[in-house]
Amino acid sequence: MQRLLAQPLPEPLRSQAAVLQQQQAALASLVQTIRAMAQPAKALATLANLDAVLPLLGSLHANALRREAQQRYDTAALLRYRCLELMSQHRLATHGVLAEEPDLDALKRRVPDLDQRYRLIERAAGFRERGLQPNPNGTYNPITLLNGYMLLAALGDPLMQRVQPADIRNRSRARNHSILAHGFRQIAAAEYRDFVTVVEQLLDQFFAIGQRSRNEWEGLYRFVTV
């Protein structure tokens, strides 16, 4: 992109110059985010920064749409699942929680009844009740996708305003049985569409919380066509 934009654009691309400049800036931001996430001291603040997260989310989402158009539903579901994870990780980071190395003691001090709330969410989602208890050494395990959404629900995070953790669990099952996840079969189109429903609901709410335009974001991460 830098090489392309460093010289006069060919005629078919000249009308797309502004979009290409925005895409180049988004790619530069994406590189900075990936580098920052490799530094433990910067990881939490980076994940909590919506401007840092959106380029990564945009890249994953745009790739999922391309695979979906090719009817490569297993790959599309894998990318959509990663979008779910990233949205959860961002919202947890805004509460001071790094999903891969969570410090839940500080969070429980701020929300004294959090463990009780979490257990209620576990029961409602059909999970065995475990609560938010540390390991014998005092540390906590990394937060999985479903555990992250249950924790967000227990915190009353606005991302969970329209979706229940049980919905995410039920509609993620097809992806979990995929050959690219934990199973040995391909995802059917109908199964994929059912899974996409919950991803779309969460994406809409994610952008509403961030007060950003989802349409503009999606447009930025599409390949330019001439």
Q: What are phi and psi of 178, to 5 degrees?
A: -70, 155
Give residue 225's pLDDT: 83
Res 171: pLDDT: 83
Specify whether the backbone of 57 is left (phi greater than 0), alpha (psi in -120 to 50) or beta. Answer: alpha
141 close to 135: Cβ distance less than 8 angstroms: yes
For the segment 33-55, what is each residue's pLDDT rounded down to a tens digit?
999 999 999 999 999 999 999 99
Task: Tell me the two tokens of residue 160.
Answer: 């969970």
Helix (H, G, I), strand (E, B) or coil at 40: helix
Handedness of CA 76, 77, 81, 82 (dihedral sign): negative
Identity at 204, one-letter amino acid code? D
Query: How many helices, marked H, and strands, marked E, lie in the chain?
Result: 13, 0
Residues 174-192: pLDDT tens digits? 666 666 555 556 788 888 8
Tokens of 190: 């109908």
Q: What average pLDDT does range 153-166 have in this prediction?
A: 95
> What pLDDT was estimated at residue 24?
94
Number of Cβ within 10 Å of residue 176's Cβ equals: 13
DSSP state of 93: H
pLDDT of residue 139: 93
pLDDT of residue 180: 56
The residue among 197, 91, 186 whose CA lies nearest residue 143 is 91
**Predicted local distance difference test score (pLDDT) of residue 182:** 57
| CA proximity to 87, closest of 168, 36, 148 | 148
C-beta separation of 115 from 132 below 8 A: yes
For residue 175, the model assigns a pLDDT of 63
Is the whole model's pTM more than 0.85, yes or no? yes
What is the spatial distance between Cα 63 and Cα 66, in angstroms, rounded to a whole number? 5
Mean pLDDT of the chain: 92
Q: CB within 8 A of 82, min separation 6: which ones? A: 60
The separation between the first and the last C-alpha atoms of the chain, rounded to the nearest angstrom, is 16
pLDDT score for 177? 62
pLDDT for residue 116: 96
| Predicted local distance difference test score (pLDDT) of residue 188 | 84
Q: Is the pLDDT of residue 217 over 90?
A: yes
pLDDT at 108 over 90: yes
Name which of 63-77, 140-154, 177-191 the model is least confident about: 177-191
